[in-house]
Amino acid sequence: MRRLGDSLCTTRRKRWITMMRLTYLTGALRSLSRREPLWRCSSRRTIYTGVLCFAMLNTSPAMGVDNSQINAFKLYAHTQVIDAKQYRCLEQLYTKESNWNPAARNGSHYGIPQLRNVKVKALDPYSQIDWGIRYITSRYKTPCNAWAFFEAKGWH
Q: What is the pLDDT of residues 99-154, one digit of tens each?
A: 999 989 888 888 999 988 656 667 889 999 999 999 999 999 999 999 999 999 98
Taking 70 as the threshold, does the pLDDT of residue 78 lie above it?
yes
Full residue range of the structural domain in which residue 61 is found: 2-153
Q: Which residues of 84-98 are buried (b: 16+ CB within 10 A; e: fewer)?
A: eebbebbbbbbeebb
Cα end-to-end span (Å), the chain: 50
Give CA 142 to chain center in angstroms.
Answer: 17
Give the chain's mean pLDDT.
76
How much is the pTM? 0.60
d(CA 151, CA 140): 14
Element (H, E) at 33: helix 2-35
Question: What pLDDT, on a 0 to 100 scale, did the predictor assign at position 94?
Answer: 96
Number of domains within the chain: 1
CB atoms near residue 125 (< 10 Å): 20
